[in-house]
């Protein structure tokens, strides 16, 4: 196989890219950064095994997810994508508190409005 | 045999099995005093290192730990453990499944808040309390969302697949997210 048709993984690993390369469908040659991140965090054999253990139809999604996680970890070596989870949880907690507050306010205002209506009818 | 054991005792060697951290036990090697894993992978928590090793590999974990300041290594280990756990539970989406789930929940909450805001607006009076609540309801854009902008297509397609989200929804223990 000519060097120009190697996938990004095999280029990075400086090896021949076989026709049944596990990485080739998910790490195209035009995006070397994608595999570089994955290789840095997981290593090629771990990623290869992860993909190998999955049904073919799920490998593309898995490769994308692994790439996102690796990219997050490269940018933030301490928390990786877990930072996102923590941030979202905090925001959800805040939003839920606000929603409870708003619904309580609606209930109070609603009952005031109802009282006013009844008072108006009595008159 | 006894002479050899005395010799080892004189040299300051402790019995290997009682002083090895979980990492060195799994890797079947001597746990040296400067072992990078020992402070974070205690011998009474063997599963923690086993999961991290399975997903990331010992040498990659060692490299990551070496690259972060010592005071941040515990948080690093805990976040790696969380990611590893998520990846083992969901080999396809890992932590990304959890993020997509939380994103969808956040969107639903924002919709509920918008509805609540509209209802409160019907009662809008010059009263400070209503205005204060309305101001509080102005939930700004999520920095978490903007950080994922580059991965927008992936998250959009994942979030829209409600069947998939329902599948992964039960997998994640968000109470175990490392505190930041």
**Co-location of A68 and A97 in the same domain:** no
A95 chain-B contacts, CB cut-off 8 A = 106, 109-110, 113, 139
Residues B15-41: tens digit of each pLDDT: 444 589 999 999 999 999 999 999 999
**Co-location of A54 and A85 in the same domain:** no
For residue B46, which of B26, B73, B70, B75 has the smallest C-alpha distance?
A: B26
Residues A92-101: tens digit of each pLDDT: 999 999 999 9
Report the range of poorest mean pLDDT among B34-48, B58-72, B136-150.
Answer: B136-150
**Co-location of A54 and A101 in the same domain:** no
What the block records as the tokens of A50 is 């992860």
Query: What span, in angstroms and rounded, lies between the C-alpha atoms of B56 and B58?
Result: 7
Model ipTM value: 0.84
Query: What span, in angstroms and rounded, lies between the C-alpha atoms of B42 and B65?
Result: 16
**Co-location of A90 and A45 in the same domain:** no
H/E stretch holding B178 reads none
CB of B137 closer than 8 Å to CB of B112: no
**Co-location of A64 and A118 in the same domain:** no
Q: Would you give the DSSP letter of residue B13?
A: P
User: Distance from CA of residue B28 to its chain's centroid?
Assistant: 27
Longest dimension (CA), chain B: 91
| Owning domain of residue A107 | 81-122
Measured between its terminal Cα atoms, the distance across chain A in Å is 93
What confidence category does residue B177 fall into, taking pLDDT thresholds of 50, 70 and 90? low
Residues A101-118: tens digit of each pLDDT: 999 999 998 888 888 888
**Co-location of A52 and A27 in the same domain:** yes
For residue B41, which of B56, B24, B55, B54 has the smallest C-alpha distance?
A: B24
Q: Would you give the DSSP letter of residue A27?
A: S
A84 part of contact set with chain B, CB < 8 Å: yes
Q: Which of B56, B86, B99 to mutate to test the interface with A (most CBs of A within 10 A)?
A: B99
Quote the minimal CA–CA distance from B82 to chain A in Å.
8
User: For every residue of B24-60, which 3-state class applies, written as one string?
Assistant: HHHHCCCCCCCCCCCCCCCCCCHHHHHHHHHHCCHHH
A45 chain-B contacts, CB cut-off 8 A = 57
Q: What are the domain boundaries of chain B?
A: 17-89, 92-123
**Co-location of A4 and A59 in the same domain:** yes
Quote the minimal CA–CA distance from A120 to chain B in Å.
17
A65 chain-B contacts, CB cut-off 8 A = 92-97, 154
Average pLDDT over residues B53-78: 96
For residue B97, which of A112, A69, A54, A106 has the smallest C-alpha distance?
A: A69
Q: What's the predicted TM-score (pTM) here?
A: 0.75
**Co-location of A55 and A108 in the same domain:** no
Number of domains in chain A: 2
């Amino acid at each position: 196989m000519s060097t120009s048709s190697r996938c990004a993984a095999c280029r990075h690993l400086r090896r021949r890219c076989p026709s049944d390369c596990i990485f080739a469908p998910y790490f195209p040659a035009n995006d070397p950064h994608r595999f570089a991140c994955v290789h840095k965090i997981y290593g090629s054999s771990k990623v290869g095994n992860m993909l190998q253990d999955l049904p073919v139809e799920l490998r593309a999604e898995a490769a994308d997810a692994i790439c996102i996680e690796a990219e997050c970890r490269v940018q933030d070596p301490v928390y990786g994508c877990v930072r996102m989870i923590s941030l979202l949880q905090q925001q959800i907690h805040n939003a839920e508190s606000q929603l409870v507050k708003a619904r309580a306010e609606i209930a109070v205002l609603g009952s005031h409005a109802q009282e006013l209506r009844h008072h108006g009818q009595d008159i | 045999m006894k002479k050899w054991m005395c010799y080892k005792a004189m040299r300051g060697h402790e019995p290997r099995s009682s002083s090895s951290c979980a990492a060195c036990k799994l890797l079947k090697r001597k746990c040296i005093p400067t072992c990078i894993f020992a402070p974070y992978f205690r011998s009474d928590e063997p599963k923690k290192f086993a999961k991290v090793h399975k997903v990331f590999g010992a040498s990659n974990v060692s490299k990551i730990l070496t690259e972060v300041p010592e005071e941040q290594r515990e948080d690093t280990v805990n976040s790696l453990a969380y990611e590893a756990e998520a990846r083992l539970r969901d080999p396809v989406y890992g932590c990304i499944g959890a993020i997509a789930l939380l994103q969808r929940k956040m969107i639903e909450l924002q919709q509920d808040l918008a509805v609540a805001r509209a209802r409160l607006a019907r009662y809008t009076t010059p009263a400070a309390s209503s205005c204060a609540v309305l101001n509080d309801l102005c939930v700004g854009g999520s920095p978490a969302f903007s950080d994922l902008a580059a991965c927008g297509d992936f998250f959009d397609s994942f979030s829209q697949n409600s069947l998939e989200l329902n599948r992964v929804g039960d997998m994640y223990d968000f109470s175990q997210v490392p505190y930041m």
